[in-house]
Structure 1
């Protein structure tokens, strides 16, 4: 028996009564939204998974049962390109949770199960799954946290920011021991912010292993304040997008890092 089985879990377009508008008030899960999400998926999410150095995982991607046929055909094509990609079609969030648990319970023959959150418009570093698995410890109800990552704005103009010391963030992995008498929880048993009170944490803070894209159709994501234009932070991230920073943005970041704006504010107050 293998020590653990690792499942990456993505919710793509599952319908929810509490999730009907993006941050700009536009409708989500309609055809226009779905086409836009697939563009982001093809640009960031999919190439990052194809490029993973660790191949021992399954990627379970959940779609609404009414997903149009053209996208179902696309999913079948992806399945042939990436054998770890497994599409599921469900009727709402309850069906998602039940289907997820049922599949893993039947599929896994391991002592432990790892389930990792991953959104359809985000991106993993090529070694993200490798470092998660290297950090595995045979301890039930443990969360593995990739504490450092990046946020990249791709709408209007490109901006890049670092995020450090994230706790109970959106890229966590739950470790569970498989037990016949206890039903699996999976990492989606609650919101990611709630795990801080439900599990012990193992923190990985020696690199940047995830990237969130900031665009007009996000629900809540935003660019963070630790801005940079240094593309070295993007090394190891594989996506079909060429970030180009405007000169005005580069100058702004330089001045910000030099503390020019703080000095100016101090003089204006005095």
Structure 2
């Protein structure tokens, strides 16, 4: 009936992406070592532990990727059958490569889900997305509630409310599919065929020093034991978080501020969409 593809870009070159938020050069060897560490600790570990294995994970690397990093990629491929690495010539080749591969699928419908290489998803992420499937020619699914983790010690974990976020999925008839990467995640606000789901928290954005623009906007107390029952980080990362975790009671004012701002943005965007401001 359908095939499900999770799609991630890793180190694709782009003309306007040369530094991170701290003005440090990206795509260097040091950047790659740090990014593979983040990928292993937060992203790969959560995809590896999915309860539903009925999906393909398409991960796109730049054709200029060095042999030492290709060896790491090959090792992941050997251990995780769902993992499908591709090497393409920068961001200009990214979307055409995705569309070409998915179009070749023999499924009547496809689901494409966007996932950044430094973020995390719950064990039931794939399963819950597939539970939303209906035979619609074009339908975007926006899970607006999730979590966010600040990895600068002490660790802080909070809830997050984010419409049109980087975890959007798209159901399409497999007839020249556009895929979820045909728009930047923020531009899905213009899509009429979009539903927003509040009932499930299936994603966690990871805030770290190499983020381009992200900052910690978490709020409310989160039970760490409950969280780790659903989100599987690497064992060393989980141990580190447990050791240096700062409960929300230590940042109550920030939590209150973030919650108020998050709700303000949510209702403002909701109203603007209802009034047709996003075109």
**CA distance in structure 1 between the aligned counterparts of 2:128 and 2:256, rounded to whole angstroms:** 34
- Change over 3 Å in CA distance of 1:205–1:70 after alignment to 2: same
Q: Name 1:51's counterpart in structure 2.
A: 49
Question: Cα–Cα, structure 1 residues 247 and 49, in superposed 2: closer, same or farther, change >3 Å?
Answer: closer
**Which has the greater radius of gyration?**
1
Unaligned residue ranges in structure 2 (runs of 5+): 258-279
Q: In structure 1, which of residues 104, 108, 112 is the aligned counterpart of residue 109 of structure 2?
A: 112
248 and 61 in structure 1: CA distance in 2 versus 1, 3 angstrom threshold = closer
Counterparts in 2 of 1:96 and 1:244: CA distance versus 1, 3 Å: same
Question: Aligned-pair distance for 1:256?
Answer: 6.8
| 2:207–2:215 Cα contact (<8 Å) kept | yes
1:36-185 correspondence runs (5 A): 36-106=34-104, 108-164=105-161, 166-179=162-175, 183-185=176-178
1:171-206 CA deviation, whole Å, 9 max, x = no partner? 000111122xxx321111111111121242233322
The equivalent of 2:215 in structure 1 is 222
Contact 1:127/1:209 (CA < 8 Å) preserved in 2? yes
SS in structure 1 at match of 2:42: helix
CA RMSD, Structure 1 to Structure 2 (Å): 2.0
Deviations 1:113-159 (A, max 9, x none): 11111011111100011000000111122111222111101123201
Unaligned 5+ segments in structure 1 are 260-270
2:230 alignment partner, SS class: coil
Asked if the contact 1:10–1:117 (Cα under 8 Å) also holds between the matched residues in 2, the reply is: yes
Structure-2-length-normalised TM-score: 0.84
Is 1:17 the equivalent of 2:10? no
Contact 2:9 2:60 in 1 (8 A): yes
Cα deviation, 1:53-92, whole Å, max 9, x if unaligned, reads 1111000000010111111111111111110101111111
TM-score after normalising by structure 1: 0.87
DSSP-derived class of the 1:26 partner: coil
3-state DSSP of counterpart to 1:110: coil
Alignment partners' CA distance in 2, 1:207 and 1:152: 17
Name 1:268's counterpart in structure 2: none
Output the CA distance in 2 between the equivalents of 1:152 and 1:91.
Answer: 32
Partner residue, 1:4: 2
Equivalent pair of 1:228/1:253 in contact (CA under 8 Å): no
Q: 1:191: which partner in 2?
A: 184
1:28 has 2:26 as partner = yes
